[in-house]
Amino acid sequence: MRKSYFFAFFLILGLSYGFGQSERPKIGLTLSGGGAKGLAHIGILKAIDSAGVKIDYITGTSMGAVVGSLYAIGYSGKQIEKLARNIDWGLLLSNEMALKSLAMEEKGEYGKYAIELPIIKRKLSLPIGVLQGQELWFKFAELYKPVRGISDFASFSIPFKCVATDIITGKAVVFDSGDISTAVRASMAIPSAFTPVDLDGMKLVDGGMLRNFPVRDVKEMGADIVIGSSLSSGLYSRERLNNVIDILLQLAFFKENDDFLEEVPLCDYYVEQTLEGYSMASFGDSETIIDLGIEKGESIFPEIKHLADSLDAIYGKQIFVEDRLPKNDSVLINSHSIIGLESTTETFFIHAIKFGDGKYYTEAAISDLIRKVYGTRYYSSINFKIIKHEDNTNEVVFRVVENPLTYAKLGLHYNDFSGISALLNFTTRDFFTKYSRSLVTYNIGENLRLLGEHMQYFGLQKNVALIARLQVENFKFNTYTDLSRTGQYKQFYTVGELKGQYAGNRDWTGGIGIRQEYIRFKPLVESRLEASGKNTFLTSFAFLKFNTFDRPIYPNKGLKLEAELGSVFNQKPDIEFLEDGVPITDLSTLGIDYENYQRLSIMLDAYQPIAPKWTFNVVFQAGLNFNYSQNLVNNFQVGGLTRTFRNQITFAGYNEGVISTASVATLGLGVNCSLFKNGYLTFKSNGLVSNFTSREKYLRFDTWLTGHAVSFAYLTPIGALEFSIMYGDQSNDLGTYVNFGIPF
């Protein structure tokens, strides 16, 4: 700290003469912005609590506003530390939401595309910020529950102000009243990172653009002694300006730097925490930053303690209360209102969240309800506040921002099997009918793939749906004998499907349907046994899906189940079989017929944390065709690490299609290690048994198989890049496998 004990003594002595012995000097606290580095303020708060210093006023900007406001409403330094260490910052400061909050039919599309751009008035629109931060709104609602209904920030346990910037006028906006969640969210809305907050005709962004260290405001509130904790070291040096991002930040904070130089001298105790090597975005290092802040707090504790002892010596012992947090439990909600509805209705919104007046709710409970309707993807932002009226009734006000109804999406995918491709998707809602979703996805690359789907919701809670799907694809795939490649085929496949489903909740859905499939194939490489031709058939089926994954790729916990039981009938084959180039006219010699048969497919995938950064994974897959006589066209294809095509059973250690069989069951065990933020190392081993229901008579392969894979993955902003080394015990082959992005 800048001030010495000697200075502190004369500062307090001078104040005592100026105010008289009976008037204790007021102490103000100012916390600067700094993004992730702002978590270091927590250590200063703990030092203040340990020293028994009572803070009378607080100001803050950006992350300083977050930490400062929590302290102001009554959280202690220890309580804020516990909150910060337990928060999932990756989820909180992103556009992601827990996958379990999404409707089941939305989970398959979520997180699949690198770019999603809204189409408004038939034109592509660019977002005004990357992060909406829906989970951040939810967290604020829960954290600020103790001051529910208090709109005057001076009425907090410690009077509080925070600063934002209005980008329309270019002026600083100082919040001392209103909704505390909105005020703090505006103060931390870093331009181009977070979306601005629209309020009373203003468009508000991070206060750090103009006033990152608002010391003068705490002086104006009445502070006689100011403790200032700053994470800014001024403008970057010449050596630091080595990329476009740093240059843009330097330009953005020119004006703020001038203000910073004026604010620092107003502090009586100035704590500087530069935290070299960490940036505003270093939330992945939150634990370390908190620890560094605590170390800094311990280093200044003697001076803070000396301040407290000096004041007590002159003005008498002051009662210090560390736990100042008001108790505020559930509240009876008498009425509600919704602001911002345009495309959707109040009836849809209320039934989707299952909300009812005349019931008791907490902020956390209302947040959970909102996640249900947010999971329909009709809304980009939903926040709320509870208002207590003069007649002692309580109203919850929902403020919603609807998503545009149409989006254009772009993704990239590559793996060794399907090659490189771009995924172009158009998704629109309510285009043909109300409460519907229609999409078209086109795979542009080495393999033609096209998908069209229309889903229509029914019922008050929109948990019943009718889904029509048409898919077309053209693939090349290899064939194997005794685990060695012996041929290659080109396959053209189309499917038309109609199914009805019921979603019991966000975790599961089930239903029945019928599909018609058409397959045409021909060999590209000659082999001993060949087949060429086409087949058309119908399948009636029942299905069940269950998904509690916490995120779409590399989940930390959760269970995923996909099961289907079907009956295949009405086959119309036109297939020619050749052996050594000679047509086989009597198919009975191969045991082939085209009678009706039944089939079952199951995929069960489970993740469970077993230690910090370690997750255990178990995968069970099974595909069985019953009463299926060497039909080939509906065999299950074993191999590959990524599910890419119909009837595929992924299997570490072998390439796609290494086994083509009527029946197979596999069990895989693995562990995932989070090496660093977005970096994962995976170890996987699996085994299988095959050909145990309708046995193949002429395709030769081992009925028992084991394989292994070690994979490294890095989650880039446009998809996961995965590199794997595989080994098959029976083939004795060591190979590699590369995958990027999420497949079609």
Ranges of each domain in the chain: 27-95+147-152+212-315, 331-402, 541-570+596-743
The answer to whether 506 and 458 have CB atoms below 8 angstroms apart is: no
Percentage of the residues of the chain whose pLDDT score is greater than 70 = 90
Show Cβ contacts of residue 520 under 8 Å, excluding neighbours closer than 6 positions.
491, 492, 493, 533, 534
pLDDT at 644 over 50: yes
Helix (H) or strand (E) holding 295: helix 286-315
How far apart, in whole angstroms, are the C-alpha atoms of residue 393 and residue 407? 41
Picking from 94-103, 110-119, 407-416, 469-478, which range would have the lowest pLDDT averaged per residue?
A: 94-103
Strand 335-339 relative to strand 269-272: parallel, antiparallel, unpaired?
unpaired
Q: What pLDDT score does 251 carry? A: 59
| Amino acid in position 710 | V
Picking from 318-322, 555-559, 722-726, which range would have the lowest pLDDT averaged per residue?
A: 318-322
Q: What pLDDT score does 248 carry? A: 57
Strand 529-547 relative to strand 558-569: parallel, antiparallel, unpaired?
antiparallel
* b/e per residue 547-563 (b: at least 16 CB within 10 A): bbbbbbbbbbebbbbeb
Q: What pLDDT score does 525 carry? A: 81
Q: What pLDDT score does 10 carry? A: 47
Q: What pLDDT score does 246 carry? A: 58
The more confident residue out of 387 and 96 is 387
Strand 160-166 relative to strand 202-206: parallel, antiparallel, unpaired?
antiparallel
Helix (H) or strand (E) holding 64: helix 63-73
Expressed in percent and rounded to 5, the helix, strand and coil fractions of the chain are: 25, 45, 35
Which band of pLDDT confidence, cut at 50, 70 and 90, is reported for residue 9? very low
Q: What pLDDT score does 132 carry? A: 67
Of 70, 227, 260, 254, the residue nearest 146 (C-alpha): 70
Q: What pLDDT score does 639 carry? A: 95
Residue 458 gets which letter from DSSP?
A: E
Percentage of the residues of the chain whose pLDDT score is greater than 90 = 56
Instruction: For residues 400-426, give the mean pLDDT.
Output: 92
How far apart, in whole angstroms, are the C-alpha atoms of residue 661 and residue 635? 5
Burial of 624 (0-12, 13-18, 19+ CB in 10 A): buried
Show Cβ contacts of residue 74 under 8 Å, excluding neighbours closer than 6 positions.
146, 156, 157, 323, 324, 325, 326
| Amino acid in position 422 | A
Q: What pLDDT score does 5 carry? A: 43
pLDDT at 101 over 80: no
Which band of pLDDT confidence, cut at 50, 70 and 90, is reported for residue 19? very low
Which band of pLDDT confidence, cut at 50, 70 and 90, is reported for residue 527? confident
Q: What pLDDT score does 54 carry? A: 93
Please report how the helices 63-73 and 77-86 are oriented relative to each other, as an axis angle in degrees rounded to 10: 130
C-beta atoms surrounding 23 within 10 Å: 12
Q: What pLDDT score does 1 carry? A: 57
- The count of C-alpha atoms lying within 13 angstroms of the C-alpha of 271, restricted to the half-sphere facing its C-beta, is 29
Picking from 16-20, 140-144, 286-290, which range would have the lowest pLDDT averaged per residue?
A: 16-20
Q: What pLDDT score does 702 carry? A: 58
5 Cα distance to chain centroid? 49
* Residues with active-site annotation: 62, 206
Angle 340-341-343 from CA coordinates, rounded to 5°: 135
Of 287, 255, 256, 291, the residue nearest 273 (C-alpha): 291
pLDDT at 2 over 50: no
Residue 236 gets which letter from DSSP?
A: P
The more confident residue out of 277 and 184 is 184
The more confident residue out of 207 and 129 is 207
| Amino acid in position 237 | S
Q: What pLDDT score does 723 carry? A: 96
How far apart, in whole angstroms, are the C-alpha atoms of residue 460 and residue 483? 54
Instruction: For residues 578-583, give the mean pLDDT.
Output: 80
Instruction: For residues 482-489, give the mean pLDDT.
Output: 86
Picking from 236-245, 425-434, 552-561, which range would have the lowest pLDDT averaged per residue?
A: 236-245
How far apart, in whole angstroms, are the C-alpha atoms of residue 547 and residue 582? 49
Of 531, 700, 694, the residue nearest 628 (C-alpha): 694
Longest dimension (CA), the chain: 114
- The count of C-alpha atoms lying within 13 angstroms of the C-alpha of 531, restricted to the half-sphere facing its C-beta, is 19
pLDDT at 67 over 60: yes
Instruction: For residues 65-77, give the mean pLDDT.
Output: 96
Could you tell me the two tokens for 14?
């001078």
Instruction: For residues 331-345, give the mean pLDDT.
Output: 93
Q: What pLDDT score does 104 carry? A: 84
pLDDT at 245 over 90: no
Of 161, 206, 237, the residue nearest 35 (C-alpha): 206
The answer to whether 214 and 30 have CB atoms below 8 angstroms apart is: yes
The answer to whether 137 and 398 have CB atoms below 8 angstroms apart is: no
pLDDT at 623 over 70: yes
How far apart, in whole angstroms, are the C-alpha atoms of residue 103 and residue 180? 31
pLDDT at 170 over 60: yes
How far apart, in whole angstroms, are the C-alpha atoms of residue 607 and residue 672? 9
Of 471, 564, 478, the residue nearest 518 (C-alpha): 471
Picking from 127-141, 372-386, 496-510, which range would have the lowest pLDDT averaged per residue?
A: 127-141
pLDDT at 534 over 80: yes
Mean pLDDT across the chain, nearest whole number? 87
The more confident residue out of 120 and 257 is 120
- Supply the CATH classification number for the domain 541-570+596-743: 2.40.160.50
The answer to whether 532 and 514 have CB atoms below 8 angstroms apart is: no
pLDDT at 561 over 90: yes
Phi, psi dihedral angles at 173 (to 5 degrees): -120, 120
pLDDT at 358 over 50: yes
pLDDT at 697 over 70: no
C-alpha distances in Å from residue 277, one per residue of 85, 288, 326: 20, 11, 38
pLDDT at 635 over 60: yes
The answer to whether 644 and 419 have CB atoms below 8 angstroms apart is: no
Q: pTM (2 decimals)?
A: 0.80
Instruction: For residues 4-26, give the mean pLDDT.
Output: 56
pLDDT at 484 over 70: yes
Of 101, 121, 41, the residue nearest 75 (C-alpha): 41
Q: What pLDDT score does 270 carry? A: 93
Q: Which CATH architecture has domain 331-402?
A: Roll (3.10)
Residue 631 gets which letter from DSSP?
A: -
pLDDT at 295 over 50: yes
Picking from 6-20, 30-44, 324-338, 434-448, which range would have the lowest pLDDT averaged per residue?
A: 6-20
Burial of 379 (0-12, 13-18, 19+ CB in 10 A): buried
Could you tell me the two tokens for 480?
């194997």
pLDDT at 608 over 80: yes
The answer to whether 603 and 562 have CB atoms below 8 angstroms apart is: yes
Residue 507 gets which letter from DSSP?
A: S
